């Protein structure tokens, strides 16, 4: 490693830490009531501060901030694992239909089965995410050429469109009962409490551990199935571990905040660019943690921007992320098509 590259990983970690701290302070301070950073710190450290400020910080904005970080990290990890498993740079829980499968199962559980609690419908989210993953994979393998990145992306778009239409149909049957879920479907961190965070944390923790533990195997898989098998990797087990991790991470995140798309697509590409700059290479032991941190920051930043761009109205974080991810996805597809010509 050259001399300039030695300090780059440390610089990268330091910059990311500072950015996350700033985003957290902004998230805790911005909203209908503006709270200066000094008062935010005083409220967090238990010092003398106005009771109203302390209540808003701890009861409303701390859970919202933590939820943005952990849900974003879950989506970023999911995207990183999916792109590595499929060797498809277009893979993303939103684009490949995983988020739409979880969302449809949740709305179905609420509208048909009458389940209204997070702990009740989160299991439907896992089942929907898993079913959508399998369906997209099977559709992407149809044809003589087998599975290709473009075919998987097209299959994911088609499955997402169908599931979104079915979700809308269920919502229209009983709009009053599902009004909350129609707001939730835009992807929002608003109106969440600490109980929501605590309920999804166990699922996110298990999913994150499975994803991070698969990093060495994903490095082998990047060299090709034959090379990975010759290195002693059990390909079926590796893929099963990855699918379970993606299902847990995406299902829990979608159950809590709604089907936010493009986070898992954009962030792994940014993580690869930063890892390349830092001289870390395409090592998933670095790429996956970087994706988690960057995705948490991206979702939290989108939530903050949604609060201030059209005051006093809040724009859902999922809408803000879509404005960023949509052009990124189009650019990525165009580059791949030009490279294949």
pLDDT score of 326: 78
Q: Which domains does the chain have, with CATH numbers?
A: 67-340 (1.10.3470.10)
CB 263 within 8 A of CB 325: yes
How would you class 340 by CB atoms within 10 Å of its CB: exposed for 0-12, middle for 13-18, buried for 19 or more? exposed
Predicted confidence (pLDDT) per residue in 5-45, tens digit: 678 888 999 999 999 999 999 999 998 888 999 999 999 98
Q: Measure the CA–CA gap between 269 and 160, rounded to whole angstroms.
A: 22
pLDDT score of 234: 87
Question: What are the distances in angstroms from CA 69 to CA 294, 300, 329?
Answer: 9, 6, 23
Kindly give the parts of the chain with pLDDT less than 70: 1-5, 144-150, 174-183, 333, 335-341
pLDDT score of 203: 94
pLDDT score of 4: 47
pLDDT score of 12: 92
Sign (positive or negative) of CA dihedral 88, 94, 99, 100: negative
């Amino acid at each position: 490693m050259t001399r300039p590259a030695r300090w780059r990983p440390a610089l990268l970690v330091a910059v990311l830490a500072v950015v996350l701290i700033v985003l957290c302070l902004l998230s805790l301070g911005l909203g209908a009531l503006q709270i200066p950073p000094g008062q935010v710190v005083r409220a967090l450290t238990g010092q003398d501060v106005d009771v109203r400020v302390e209540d808003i910080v701890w009861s409303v904005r701390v859970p919202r901030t933590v939820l943005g970080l952990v849900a974003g990290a879950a989506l970023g990890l999911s995207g990183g694992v999916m792109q590595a498993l499929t060797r498809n740079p277009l893979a993303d829980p939103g684009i490949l239909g995983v988020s739409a499968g979880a969302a449809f199962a949740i709305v179905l559980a609420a509208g048909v089965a009458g389940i209204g609690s997070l702990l009740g419908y989160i299991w439907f989210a896992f089942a929907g995410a898993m079913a959508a993953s399998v369906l997209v994979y099977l559709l992407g393998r149809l044809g003589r050429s087998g599975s290709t990145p473009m075919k998987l992306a097209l299959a994911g778009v088609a499955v997402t469109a169908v599931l979104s239409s079915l979700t809308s149909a269920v919502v229209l049957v009983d709009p009053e009962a599902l009004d909350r879920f129609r707001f939730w479907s835009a992807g929002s961190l608003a109106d969440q409490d600490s109980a929501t965070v605590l309920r999804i944390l166990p699922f996110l923790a298990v999913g994150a551990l499975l994803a991070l533990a698969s990093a060495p195997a994903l490095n082998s898989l990047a060299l090709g199935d034959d090379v990975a098998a010759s290195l002693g990797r059990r390909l079926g087990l590796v893929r099963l571990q990855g699918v379970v991790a993606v299902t847990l991470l995406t299902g829990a995140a979608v159950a809590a905040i709604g089907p936010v798309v493009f986070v898992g697509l954009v962030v792994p590409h940014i993580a690869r660019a930063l890892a390349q700059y830092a001289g870390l290479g395409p090592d998933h032991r670095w790429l996956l943690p970087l994706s988690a941190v960057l995705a948490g920051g991206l979702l939290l930043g989108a939530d903050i921007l949604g609060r201030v761009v059209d005051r006093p109205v809040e724009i859902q974080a999922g809408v803000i992320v879509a404005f960023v991810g949509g052009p990124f996805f189009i650019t990525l597809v165009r580059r791949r098509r030009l490279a294949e010509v």
